[in-house]
Amino acid sequence: MSSLLLQPADPTVLFSDDVQSRTLGRFSIVDGYTVSSSGGSVDIVDVDTTRAFRLTRTTNSGSTSIQRNYTQPLKGLVTVEADIMRRDATDGTTNWFSVPYLYGTDGVRAVSVAFNKGDIVAYQGTESKNLMRYEQGRWYKLTLEVDTINQRFDLLIDGKRLVDDATFRSPLAGGIARIEYYANSSNYGTIHVDNLRILQGTTRGKGNTALAAVQTDAGNAVQDGTGWRLDVPAGTQTLRVATKPAADVVSGITINGATAQPGVLSDPITLSEGTNTISIVVTAENGTSQTHTLTVQRALLAADATLRSLTVGSATLSPDFGSAVQDYQITTEPGATEITVTPTSTGPSSEISVNGHTVQNGAVTTVAVTNGQVIPISVSSADGTGLVTYSLTIKVQPKVSAATTGSQPNDQGWRTSPATVTLTLNEGAKASIEYRLGEGQWQAYDAPLVIAQDGETTLSYHAVVDGAAVEKSGGTQTFRIDTTAPVVKLDGGPTGSYVFGHDPTAPTCDASDATSGLASCLITGGGTSAGEHTYTATATDNAGNTAIAELKYTVEPWTINGFTAPVDMDGGSMEHGQSRKHCSPQIHNVRRHHGNHRHSESEELHHCGRHLPRRRCTYR
């Protein structure tokens, strides 16, 4: 016959350790723990999203363990609980880790639970049984409910009772004197232990059908007499419900007829305006069932004066929109002068105004903005009983603008004089300005910049808030300055003077420009007639600067120094105007210039016109 056990209505927590506050690194004896690192190590580590004990065994030496010892053994109904996780391979290699073992005052193992070769194992009596396969890297909550008087135990894994009223492996002498998580011998590998708890009593109640809590995606329900109640806004069209039974283990739960799991939200349940009733049935381990009622009161749409949604274009709304939240900040793009807002009311017939102007429900509305401006959005219920105003405070991100004065660039972007650049922030912006030239250092801007250096100079600028550059707040501009005329000269061509009829080759242009480059070089002037002439070379660079080079020279006519013998006028005649005179050809000396040299020679005149310009000689 089993002994009668009396336990408190609520179990007493004897020990609890979530490990979160423990220092990372090697773990030593502290807070009632006994630690052995023989054959491996015991450490505190961060793993996944938690902090836990890590037991690693690498050699066959002693025992790698953490344990708690009780000089006053634990008796009666005792619950031992911990979260366990392994990442070792499950390929069949023996790697037995005890999680945990319970010992009596005589040091004999009474209850044995382990992870081994991919299975969670427990001794039921003297037989070791595989309960389930474990997944590498997954946490499992193991709960041992131990009856030291009747020498029986239950094992729950993640709230599911896999061992029910099993006998001990060996008789427990004097109560529970040691609780140990360990590995020894050639059982190599690693295990993680977290959230250790030891309770006097248990949460077991095989006939318990009570609910400890009812939760929904619209908030937690409250107990209302024998049932549960929840009020939701008019815009709540569906509801998902989760329950927490008072007992750790129940046989089943249904929500509105659909099977549910403890703590897991149900599929959406459609709500009507007004009163909605949702039934929750809890079936205990012994088969006893109880129906609980959740009453959901949904407000009427006609009386609703809230927004269901609010979106803003190319701006950031903070905090995220919620119908019950009425104050927001909108952060715009740098320098923005307008934004778009799209307010949608919960009640389809509610009236909406933005900045005092009525707008269509769900329509995109453009609003002019300045930094610090507050935009009100008001919603009036269809029945006229409600009015809610949402406030949008505008924060326009700073934007730097650049204004340039000086000579204007030509079609190729070149300027022939320095440019002056003035940088300014948009109105109301609270920021400073930084700039840099080329790849130089960023520096504070405090006065207009003069870009005067010949060549290409890139100016970059942006706004700075709290020491950090504001993204997309600035820009870059490239200035092409050429204030220097090209270099030009004339190569070749005539020099000094030469005699008519001996024309040398015309000169060529030799020009260059080191900054914007040479655009053209044009040669004009020159001539072969008697007299002074000038060749002019005009060089133009790509910025429009010009330079001129000149070459001056003289073309000299033929000249007559005299005859060698008297002229016989009977030999011919020479007409001049209306008179005619006679001449006869003679040999005479002719001097002509060739360059800067004079030459004398004798020749026979056949055509007087060669020596007497503008006269015509005839021979008879």
Give one DSSP letter per residue of 470-482, joined into a string. PTTS-EEEEEEE-
Mean pLDDT of 565-576: 48
* Among the ranges given (149-153, 305-309, 372-376, 558-562), the one the predictor scored with the smallest mean pLDDT: 558-562
- pTM of the full structure: 0.51
Which CATH number applies to 211-299: 3.10.450, 3.30.565, 1.10.10, 2.60.40?
Answer: 2.60.40
Mean pLDDT of 244-260: 90
What's the CATH fold of domain 12-200?
Jelly Rolls (2.60.120)
Mean pLDDT of 508-527: 95
Q: What pLDDT is recorded for position 609?
A: 39
Q: What pLDDT is recorded for position 310?
A: 97
Kindly state the percentage of the chain with pLDDT values over 70: 87
Q: Which of 109-113, 115-119, 250-254 has the highest mean pLDDT?
A: 109-113
Q: Is the pLDDT of residue 602 over 50?
A: no
Cα 239 to Cα 298: distance, rounded to the nearest angstrom: 11
pLDDT in tens, 178-206: 999 999 999 999 999 999 999 998 766 67
Q: What pLDDT is recorded for position 160?
A: 83
Q: Are 117 and 228 in contact (CB under 8 A)?
A: no
The candidate with the shortest Cα–Cα distance to 564, out of 592, 620, 604, 615, is: 604
CA distances from 340 to 152, 168, 366, 369, 561 (A): 69, 72, 4, 10, 100
Let me know if the fold of 12-200 is the same as that of 211-299.
no
Q: Is the pLDDT of residue 384 over 80?
A: yes
Read off the pLDDT band of 274 (50, 70, 90): very high
Q: What pLDDT is recorded for position 251?
A: 86
Give the dihedral sign, CA 141/147/151/152.
Answer: negative
The first and second tokens of residue 529, run together, are 């007639």
Mean pLDDT of 57-71: 96
Q: Is the pLDDT of residue 316 over 70?
A: yes
* Among the ranges given (86-100, 497-511, 560-574, 581-595), the one the predictor scored with the smallest mean pLDDT: 581-595
Please tell me the class of the 306-392 domain: mainly beta
Using the CB atoms, write b or e for 197-217: b if 16+ within 10 Å.
bbbbbbbbbbebbebeebbbe
CA atoms within 13 A on the CB side of 256: 17
Domains of the chain by residue range: 12-200, 211-299, 306-392, 400-481, 487-556, 559-619
Mean pLDDT of 136-144: 95
CA distances from 84 to 90, 99, 140, 331, 391 (A): 15, 8, 5, 46, 50
Read off the pLDDT band of 611 (50, 70, 90): very low
Read off the pLDDT band of 95 (50, 70, 90): confident
Cα 60 to Cα 184: distance, rounded to the nearest angstrom: 7
Q: What pLDDT is recorded for position 583?
A: 43
Q: Are 37 and 66 in contact (CB under 8 A)?
A: no
Cα 506 to Cα 523: distance, rounded to the nearest angstrom: 10
Give the dihedral sign, CA 557/563/566/568.
Answer: negative
Read off the pLDDT band of 575 (50, 70, 90): very low
Cα 115 to Cα 132: distance, rounded to the nearest angstrom: 10
What's the CATH fold of domain 487-556?
Immunoglobulin-like (2.60.40)
Q: Residues near 549 by Cβ (< 8 Å), separated by ≥ 6?
A: 488, 489, 490, 509, 536, 537, 539
Residue 106: count of CB within 10 angstroms of its CB: 12
Q: What pLDDT is recorded for position 159?
A: 80
Please tell me the class of the 400-481 domain: mainly beta
Q: Is the pLDDT of residue 598 over 70?
A: no
pLDDT in tens, 20-54: 999 999 999 999 999 999 999 999 999 999 999 99
Read off the pLDDT band of 88 (50, 70, 90): confident
* Among the ranges given (383-397, 399-413, 567-581), the one the predictor scored with the smallest mean pLDDT: 567-581
Q: Is the pLDDT of residue 114 over 50?
A: yes
Q: Is the pLDDT of residue 87 over 80?
A: yes
- The DSSP call for residue 137 is T
Cα 441 to Cα 478: distance, rounded to the nearest angstrom: 17
Kindly state the percentage of the chain with pLDDT values over 90: 78
Burial of 339 (0-12, 13-18, 19+ CB in 10 A): buried
